[in-house]
Structure 1
Amino acid sequence: MADVVDHAQRLAEAHLARSLAAARVPVVAGVPGICGDCGEDSARLVDGLCAPCREPNPRLPRRF
C-alpha cells in the first residue's frame, strides 16, 4: 500500500517532467530593426515587435 511519501515522490517526479518539457520550448529567433508598434530601434524584434510591445507590463508605461 502506498503511503504519503510515495504519493509525494510521484507528484515531484511528474512536476519535474512537466518543468523539463516546458523548458525545452524553442525560443523564436529575433532580428534587429524598427518596432512596428512603437517605432523604436530594437536589437531583437519578433514578428516585427520589440519586447515591451509584445508583452506589455501594465505597471510600466509603454514607449512612444
Structure 2
Amino acid sequence: MADHIDMANEVAEAEAARGIAAAQSANHPVGIEGECDQCGDHFTRLVKDHLGYRCGYCRDGRRKPR
C-alpha cells in the first residue's frame, strides 16, 4: 500500500508532466535576428509586439546582463 509520500510524488510527477506538455504545445512567436527597437542592441531573436521588434529583456522589463 502506498503511503502519503508516494501519493504526493505521484501527484507531483503528474503535475510536472502536464506542465511540460502545456509548454511544448504553446504557440511561441517566431523571432528574427536584428537590432532591438527599444534598446538598440543586436540579438539573434527579436519578437514583434505593439512597440515593434524587441528583445526578451525589453519585452519583459528586465535589465540586460553586462
TM range (shorter): 0.5 to 0.7
| More off after superposition, 30-39 vs 49-58 | 49-58
Question: CA 1:14/1:37 → structure 2, altered by over 3 Å: closer, same or farther?
Answer: same
Cross-structure match for 2:30 = 29
Following superposition, the deviation at residue 45 of structure 1 comes to 0.8
User: What are the ranges of 5 or more consecutive residues in structure 2 without an aligned counterpart?
Assistant: none
Question: CA 1:6/1:32 → structure 2, altered by over 3 Å: closer, same or farther?
Answer: closer
1:39 equivalent in alignment to 2:40: yes
Taking only aligned residues, the RMSD between alpha carbons, in angstroms, comes to 3.0
Cross-structure match for 1:15 = 15
Preserved CA contact (<8 Å) 2:34 2:42: yes
Q: Which TM-score applies when normalising by structure 2?
A: 0.55
Alignment length, in residue pairs? 61
- Opposite residue 35 of structure 1, the aligned amino acid is C
Runs of 4+ in 1 over 3 A off after TM superposition: 58-61
Give the share of equivalent positions with the same residue, in percent: 39
SS of 2:40 mapped into structure 1: coil
User: What are the ranges of 5 or more consecutive residues in structure 1 without an aligned counterpart?
Assistant: none
1:52 equivalent in alignment to 2:53: no
